[in-house]
Structure 1
Amino acid sequence: MQRRVFHKMIPLAALVLAVALFATACGRAVLRFTDSGRTMSRTEVIELARSVDLGPAYGAASSEAVKHRATALTELRSHGKAAQALADALTAAFPADYQGVPAYVEAASVDGRDCWIVVEAKPSTAGPSKLTARRYWLFGRATYDVIESGTLD
């Protein structure tokens, strides 16, 4: 009798494993947030922007950028009051159909200035139908003014 029960449990165990693997794959973070306050140079910011994981928005169709952006800004708001204020500033500063999708946000000191570093996935100039390029932004931490931005296609 034990053997019959064991054979019936194999398909159930396989199903549970498949669901767990699927959930892990789909659970990839939309946005990475860190409030480390580390000190960086402008050059280090550009290298960070070149290497950071752009999450599930990377490679998505440009037509889905607004949806991905809304999801990323919602997630950013979940990281406390300072992150909420940044998300509000990003929402107010860009048009509703803006196609840049924030994927990485960090509070840091860059060349002596307190900044928000935002790295986003954006449509490439070479192939604008997909979000395969990167843009980085440096915003003033207290004022949200644009200090610098750059595109890395």
Structure 2
Amino acid sequence: MLCCHVHWQVWAMLEYMDDVLGRLFDYMEASPLRDNTYIMIMGDNGSELFDGEIITEGNLEKRMPSGMQGYKRAVEEGGIRNFLAVKGPGVQGGVVDSTLLDITDVVPTVADLAGVPEGSGGHLPFSGSSFKQLLLAMTRKHTRPAGV
């Protein structure tokens, strides 16, 4: 359940992000870059507690305005559940998927989307796995109603 009172700063931040992302998408649509560019937008599960700070009813809403249980470092949804949106060639819009991914999967995916052969470049092996095939295989049949 969503919190009843979300701080005005959160709404202002969302409005700002909406404006900035809208301008980015408008620019990309008018640019030849749209045919070979992927944009990944990822959320964060809230700010870390300061030394000695504890979660109270007074600061919980500011730290976790989603109303999810748990927060950073917790194995509840507030600590592990996050948002990732990807826009780019071959990625179907409007698809919602609940596949478990990890932050370590992002770099291998970007490399895979860019066509970088696995193991090239002289770097250590990636600790994550590419989810390129998941992105390109998703279709609207995987969608579900908003809020579900």
- TM-score class normalised by the smaller sequence: under 0.3
TM-score, length-scaled by structure 2: 0.26
Quick check: which one's strand share is greater? 1
Quick check: which one's helix share is greater? 1
